[in-house]
Amino acid sequence: MTEKRFGLTRRQVLAAGAGAAAVPAFVGAQSPRASLLAAPPIPNVRIGFVGVGGMGTVHVRNLLAVHEASPGVEIRAVCDIVPEHAERARDFVREAGGAEPTLYTRGERDYERMCAEEELDLVFTATPWRFHVPVCVAAMENGKHAATEVPAATTIDECWQLVETAERTGRHCVMMENCNYGRWEMMVFHLVRLGVLGEVLHAEGGYLHDLRDVKFANRGEGLWRRAHSHTRNANLYPTHGLGPVANCMDIGRGDRFDYLVSMSGPSRGLQDYAREHFPEGAPQRAEEFTLGDVNLSLIKTARGRTITVVHDTNLPRPYSRINLVQGTRGIFQGYPNRVYVEGRSESHRWDDAETWYEEYAHPLWRNVASPGEELGHGRMDYLEDYRLIRCLQEGLPTEMNVYDAAALSAVTDLSERSVADRSRPMDFPDFTRGGWETFEKLPVVTD
Amino acid sequence: MLFFRSEDEIRAWCRGRGVEPGPAVSVEQLWRLSVVWYGTRLHPEPPRRTPDEARAIFVGVGLTDPFWDPVPRQE
Ligand SMILES: NC(=O)c1ccc[n+]([C@@H]2O[C@H](COP(=O)([O-])OP(=O)(O)OC[C@H]3O[C@@H](n4cnc5c(N)ncnc54)[C@H](O)[C@@H]3O)[C@@H](O)[C@H]2O)c1
């Protein structure tokens, strides 16, 4: 009789118990396999959309364009608390020649009714942040795959809720990080895969976007986004900068975020903006903000590599996501895009990245044109929606899985705790429970 | 080692991944096992248990799965 099963021995279990204060029920088993998140193919993807404001409308129109290029997508239902928004989306579906979607406009939780009543393969949400997790959970609990705009979650508990629900129901929960499909982000990923930058050791990313007018607008994100700046001092929107560089570092597929330290500076920008743009006595001038204008977070990975993530949305400045990836042979840096590779670039001088593009463009950018008008943030948004649909149609693992969504989104909560505690290191949970060591690396897809 | 709320959850988790369930231990069993198994750890010379003694302890807390059988391997 062998004592070894499922990779653990009786002796190992007893030895582990000796060091543990309390060990609840356990089962010895291997970590989840890479195939876990590849669901059976869905030739015709039936979608229910929740939240069709600015970004949701972009996705709806892109999904209709994906269908136009290659039939196999259907928008069956649309849910929004503002009936006119849902009707606008319905009109786009009609114009594209689709069957009329059912509208769900009976308030904040009407997505629950949609998830329960509709026959759908995918529920896609682009609502304000606090609804992302409830919508995804309702979708998965009703047997539907879920896709959510960024960030997937805003607390560690919410991250676990997504992971546990996806594991229990066997459904995808994809975070729609469009910047992973950006022209330059994808070229850098391609450079990394080809080994041009050598071994990647360090990366920098961020969201540096003057959002003062957006946060104070009387519409769209102005209705909800500013509220987070009232109450949270954290890296509130980490995934645009972090998602692409995490892919270059194989986070969740060979490495993982280990811990983070974070600092925020003073909060001035929103107060100053309110004073300069609203009349004496306006309620906006009395608002107080907790969010430091610049947050700097530093992540150490399990393999000892380093990443910085910046959040900077309250001060006058040009846009940047930094997008820096540095390896043993060279470096890429965005804004403006430049490359330096030893032996190829002139010593100590940047090359304009455009001079590298012809040779190193990512095959997806070379091969897949977006049909018609380019919406939202241009082709990257289209490619993101296109690849999600391709993965679902062909039963492939999605390029962003629930573990990625949780790890990237966890930065907000961990940075908040670190900032509040003199930048003390905060450990990332291993949402993959060891799976990161064996999950397959992301491929360079070609079409 | 993974933690679950119930045996149903263990089965569902394993089914979702095509993994055979391993031996599950309840919190109560683990507690009872710990009290006996580690109870001698602080003795200056902790006694080394014979396979029969170990088996008696495991069986005593209901751990009868072959995983827990301390009979030396016959290679
Ligand atoms: N990836 C990107 O580049 C990008 C860009 C912009 C926004 N976003 C993300 O997209 C999401 C939406 O942002 P937006 O700019 O479109 O905001 P928005 O305010 O323009 O749109 C939100 C929509 O959701 C609706 N809504 C609110 N609560 C709802 C509920 N409970 N049920 C159904 N509908 C509800 C609103 O009526 C509105 O139509 C956010 O998570 C944001 O972070 C991502």
* pLDDT (average), residues A345-357: 98
Residues of chain A found within 8 Å of residue B41, distances taken between Cβ atoms: 18
- Among A13, A26, A402, A431, most B C-beta atoms within 10 A, so best to mutate, is A26
Give the distance (Å) from ligand 1 centre to CA of residue A51. Answer: 6
Domains in chain B: how many in total?
Answer: 1
Tell me A251's DSSP state.
B
Residues of chain B found within 8 Å of residue A36, distances taken between Cβ atoms: 16-17
Same domain as A158, residue A117: yes
B2 located within any domain: no
Say what the pLDDT of residue B31 is: 87
B5 located within any domain: no
pTM assigned to the model = 0.82
B64 located within any domain: yes
Same domain as A101, residue A199: no
Q: Give CA–CA dist A29/A92, Å, rounded.
A: 49
Same domain as A139, residue A241: no
pLDDT digits (tens, 9 = 90+) for A51-92: 999 999 999 999 999 999 999 999 999 999 999 999 999 999
Same domain as A199, residue A347: yes
- Report CB contact under 8 Å: A168, B9: yes
Cβ atoms of residues A86 and A73 within 8 Å: no
Range of the domain at B58: 25-70
**CA A18: distance to chain centroid?**
40
Taking alpha carbons only, the member of A83, A276, A2 closest to residue B69 is A2
Pocket test for ligand 1, best of A49, A55, A400 (most atoms within 8 A of CB): A55
Same domain as A353, residue A224: yes
Q: Is A23's Cβ below 8 Å from some Cβ in B?
A: yes
- Report CB contact under 8 Å: A29, B2: yes
Range of the domain at A421: 180-365+401-437
Say what the pLDDT of residue A20 is: 38
Taking alpha carbons only, the member of A374, A427, A424, A430 closest to residue A404 is A430
Confidence of residue A299 (pLDDT cuts 50, 70, 90): very high
Say what the pLDDT of residue A17 is: 56
Say what the pLDDT of residue A84 is: 98
Taking alpha carbons only, the member of A251, A228, A124 closest to residue A176 is A124
B9 located within any domain: no
* pLDDT (average), residues A213-228: 96
Q: How many CA atoms lie within 13 A of A207 on its CB side?
A: 20
Same domain as A341, residue A271: yes
Task: Answer whether residue A433 shows pLDDT above 80.
Answer: yes
What ipTM does the predicted assembly reach? 0.75
Nearest atom in ligand 1 to A55's CA: 16
Same domain as A290, residue A198: yes
B19 located within any domain: no
Higher-pLDDT residue of B55 and A161 is: A161
Confidence of residue B72 (pLDDT cuts 50, 70, 90): low
Same domain as A218, residue A354: yes
